[in-house]
Structure 1
């Protein structure tokens, strides 16, 4: 299954367009994890699903997380996300 160039562009631009939402998600995850381990892309997906967040912005974040997981990246590197 190939993705259209438009969707791939969205995946690459997700970090610059959703920084406030990422800050809130990281704050929630840090509160839950309490520094016991690093935040993983699957943690972001699980938080969005568990809390019932809906909308295009959350779908884009889930797509971005899945893309990174498929690339073999499991741990979120904060420097990659331009907060």
Structure 2
């Protein structure tokens, strides 16, 4: 989490019955690093999944993650990143 500023990740009050600390990510466009900005939706998904039990995982989760990773890669290609940089980022 060192690439994110305190302004982009901040704690929120947990819902009743939800154990542990909850965080919320700021919307895309707020990061100085375009790669982190592109991956913000995936980071948010990871944060939400960390609080779920395995029985609550949606069946289409793997497909959604693959689709989101491909979207990040496409965005980085459009921004002019070299393929090797994108693969390393993945």
User: Greater strand share, 1 or 2?
Assistant: 2
Q: Which has the higher contact order (CA 8 A, sep 6+)?
A: 1
Q: TM-score higher than 0.5 here?
A: no
Pick the structure with greater CA Rg. Answer: 2
Normalised to the residue count of structure 2, the TM-score between the two structures is 0.30
